[in-house]
A and B are shown apart, each in its own frame.
Chain A
Amino acid sequence: MKIQSDFTAKSFQYLQKMIRESGPAASASYTLIGAIILLGGIGYVFDKWLESSPWFLLGGLLLGLIVGFYELAKTVWGMSEKGRKGERENG
């Protein structure tokens, strides 16, 4: 019974740890997709308005990719910096 409760407690602790660490990754992935959809959408609206299809859409998608990947890169840099700090602290 004790082994079972230890296992459950450990599982919950691990789940909590995973959840804590997944935050920045989830934010980067949603921002990547969000940037492409938002800027692509704005480009599409401009194309409809100015009848310039497909140039604003393409431009918007490209800008969305740049912004999205920049946000992703920032998250990765932040995570690796945190990892290096942790390694230094642990010796």
Chain B
Amino acid sequence: MATGEYVPHAPGYVDTDDPKIVTSRFGYEDSYTLDRYLATGGYEGLKAALGRTSEACHNITREATVLGRGGAGFPAGIKWGFCPPDVWPRYLVVNGDESEPGTYKDRLLMERDPHQLIEGCLIACYSIGLTQCFLYVRGEMAVAQQRLADALNEAYEAGYVGKNILGTDFSVDIVLHWGAGAYIVGEETALIESLEGNRGMPRLKPPFFPAAVGLYGQPTIVNNVETLANLPWLMSNGAEAYKQYGSETSPGTRMFAVSGHVKRPGVYEVEQGVTTYEDLLYGDKYCQGIRDGHELKMFIPGGGSAPWLFPEHVSLPLEARPVGAAGTMLGSGAIVVMDDSTDAVKACLRVVRFFARESCGKCAPCREGTSWEEKILQRILDGNGRPEDLDLLLDIGDNISPGPYPVASDESQGLEAVPFPPRQTTICPLGPSSVAPIVSALRRFRHEFEAKIATPVELGLRGPNAPSEAEETGLRGPNAPSEAEETGLRGPNAPSEAEEVAS
């Protein structure tokens, strides 16, 4: 059914009149075929790259400041430069294990435009001498795997991948690899462990910085799908053209997935830095505001790991630095919007439960701490919370991420923001991420937690920590202080007056 007609959008993607760098083909029904790719400027970026020296291509990427789109936002050109000069071979590992709650852009890029990703991989390999590329796709993305397998077979057949690409000395193999369901494998060292056939547990940095000691102990560049998808356009149009979009410190465009209680949720490609959360959430060409009859209560600004933001923060630009200073992160470009119908405790529990389920179990503070956090939040939600639980939650969080945890400002309470990132007692940031919803929700909505703890009676059932019947009725239960203690009268087993005087 490859009609080639431009349809308004692929499922989830919303087309706007904004400049497009990575989603330019999403409207075509057959966007994933080699024919459509070639008809729309495909592999021209590779040809432009091969017309230059490798070093020149690396320099263009460096000049353009292509920021990593996976979450950390580190410039790709600088990351590439971290490979030790004389150690060979070097590998490219593409991080397509997209699983951060709220995030999906890489899946669309792989499903809708697999050749663009392949071309991006080739350009990265050419630029810094990477001789084999592994495309690690999330296990659950069957359609993306199928499209990439087809695209790779086509590209090999047509001479774009493999030996002597386009008649040059440039030769590289791209291997499709896929995972099997583990969020933590999105962390780059865990991804490498998984690619070596092991349990996907993160490695300690140092020494295991992938650019120095990565796959099979060799220098390895791990780049996000969206990051690489920018390279074909960049090579065709140059760094200056790329920098015309976005802000000075965050050039180019970025894909944002806005989900939750907005009128038109979707994946949008917008200019970074110059667009704000407000534009995206309320703009007519974007999400068109909160659904009717409701108001914004809070939003997750950068994936499940990000501390929450609130209505007064919507004017922040979509740029890593100001969002970091505001106490959270731009992260993976995932915005989850929650309106006033949302129960803050329930939302907090749901995000924490995710981290408890996905903890790999390597570091004790995370392995134990995340499940404790989940259990405590569950009992508060069930009406069995204890008054000390709120401090207990914060204490557990402090053991995973010591010190003041990043959190947004709260003018109504006169509280300032604590800037990102959090500190950690763990190898990777998964455990500390579980603290984000707790600190965010507790600081802002402590009264909601307290209300649940103060009113444990639901449907007439009493939780174990509810005030005892005795306390309420005046009847004495077995653990009530004895009459003797209260009245000063001595019972038969009390120490004798003589014993007390002696001690």
Q: Do A and B come from one complex?
A: no
Which A residues are within 8 Å of any B CB, using their own CB? none
